[in-house]
Structure formats: C-alpha cells, structure tokens
Amino acid sequence: MKSESLRAILGTDVLRSIPVSGGDINDAYKLNLSDGRQIFMKANRSVGLSFFQAEAEGLEAIRATGTIGTPKVIAVDKDQQHGAFLLLEWVEAAPKVYGFWETFGRSLARMHQAPASRFGWEKDNYIGASPQINTPHDNWIAFYRDCRLSPQFERAQHYFDPSMWKRITRLLDHLEDHLVEPPHPSLLHGDLWSGNFITGNDGQAWLIDPAVYVGHAEADLAMTELFGGFHPDFYSAYREVNPLQPGYEQRRDLYNLYHLLNHLNLFGGGYLSAVLRILNRYS
C-alpha cells in the first residue's frame, strides 16, 4: 500500500495491508510497517472526515476517565486513495483474564461514575451510520425525547399510520411517566453491544466504536441486554459498584427503542415488529 499521507503520519512505509473484519460500514486493515509496528486502519470513501473524528474523540473521552481500556488513537485523516480514515494501535487480543466479566462490569460502572456535566455532547456524532444529535440539555428526559426518540421517529414516520402516530406523540409527550432522572449525568459509550468491545492485550475488556454522549447510565446498560446480553457476572459486578434505581427493568425497553428505531431506519422493516411491541407496551 503506497500512500504518501500514511508515510507522513507514521514516519515509515506500509509494507503490507491485510484486510480484517471491521463491521458493516467501513473497510478495515492491519498495516504492517517497515519499522516493525502494526497499525489498525478503518477507511471509508462514503463518509466525511467528521465520521472518524467523532469516533476518535469518543475513544479519547472514554480513555480519559482512566476506568477502562480503549485502543490509542494515532490519527484521523483523508486521502484520495482511501477516503476518510482512522488509525488506531493494533490490539493483539490476549486470553481473557480470570474474572474478566466481573472486572468489565466494575470498570463500566466506574466510567459511569466519572464526572460529567450536561446531558448531550459538545457536538453531534454518529450512531452506526446515522447522525446522532447531542444538543446539550439540563434535563435527561427532555434530552432523550428531543435528541434520541423524536429524530428517529421522524425518520421512520412512513412506517406508522395516523393512529399509531397519535400513540407515538402521546408517548413522547409523557415520557416522564416512564423514565426517571439519574442521580448524576454519566459518560456513555452509546452503542454498547457485544460487537463493540474486544479483549485487549492485557486480557481485559476494551471498548471500541463508541457513540459517546452524557446521559443516564441505564441507557448503556440496557443496550448490553438488547442482543442477547452479557455474562451474568458482568451485571452483578456492575450493580455492586453503581446500584441501579428501582424500576430499571420497566425502563429498559424504552431505552432500547432508540436503537431499534435506528436499525429500522438503517436496515428496513425487519425491525418494525420489535418497535411496535415496545410502542404497544408504553403507549
């Protein structure tokens, strides 16, 4: 892979570029460099530079809490050959350490306890391939209505008939009947399912592919349960460090409605039945 932009960033030549799995959105490569280093590269010709800048900023925000591992960000740039790209340290997964899931749960709970300010984020970013609005709010329920559910419902409005749209409006107007304000704002990963953590070179869980914002910790925890859930030891250890407010189980599906709506908008009607089940429960 001959690339003057990569040489300028890395200070050496790329000897070999090996395609690796990197999700459905981007091309991903392991770069073997002439100085012996290995680098992970994600590239996409269809997105702007802001797409990978948002990911890099999210990784750095998580890393700054000092609570859980993330790959180190090397650079975000673009060139004619690759389009926009993100360079990260190459993580060679080690065997999971003893107590992997318990440590993961405690680490995430501590991340959620790290100091954070207003709900939202300093700029908009992305949830998968979708834009994610992060306009700062002082109230969590208002933020979740205005910046999470409402934009996704508007994008998906062609799926709903007038009677269902009335129920959606009623739900949005009365979210306070179902959700609660958190004891404090928390930095969230924002898209925390099993595909968005890896085993790091220390044998511990590391977070990848964030969609960060400041919100209610319950929203992150709910996402971990959407597609099968994590090991039970993860949840018990999490609750030891950061106990949940009463009634979390009754709120969980309403948090996951955001992700199901996003999947509906990205991937089509196969997710509609799951969305309707939640709407029928809460509206």
pLDDT digits (tens, 9 = 90+) for 232-262: 999 999 999 999 999 999 999 999 999 999 9
User: Residue 185 and residue 68: Cα distance in Å, rounded?
Assistant: 18
Q: What are phi and psi of 135, to 5 degrees?
A: -55, 125
Q: What one-character DSSP code corresponds to residue 40?
A: E
Under the banding of pLDDT at 50, 70 and 90, the label for residue 2 is low
Under the banding of pLDDT at 50, 70 and 90, the label for residue 94 is confident
Res 127: pLDDT: 97
User: Residue 121 and residue 276: Cα distance in Å, rounded?
Assistant: 29
Between CA 206 and CA 213, with CA 211 as vertex, the angle to 5 degrees is 105
User: Residue 269 and residue 263: Cα distance in Å, rounded?
Assistant: 9
Domains and CATH numbers, the chain: 4-89 (3.30.200.20), 100-282 (3.90.1200.10)
Indicate the SS3 state at residue 43: strand
pLDDT digits (tens, 9 = 90+) for 106-127: 999 999 999 999 999 999 999 9
Written as six digits, the tokens of 251 are 């709120």
Written as six digits, the tokens of 257 are 């409605």
pTM as predicted? 0.95
The residues assigned a catalytic role are 191
Could you tell me the CA-to-CA distances from 71 to 7, 74, 201, 206 in Å, in that order?
21, 9, 10, 7
Res 81: pLDDT: 86
Answer whether 244's CB lies under 8 Å from 237's CB: no
Answer whether 31's CB lies under 8 Å from 39's CB: yes
Count CA within 13 A, CB hemisphere, residue 6.
28
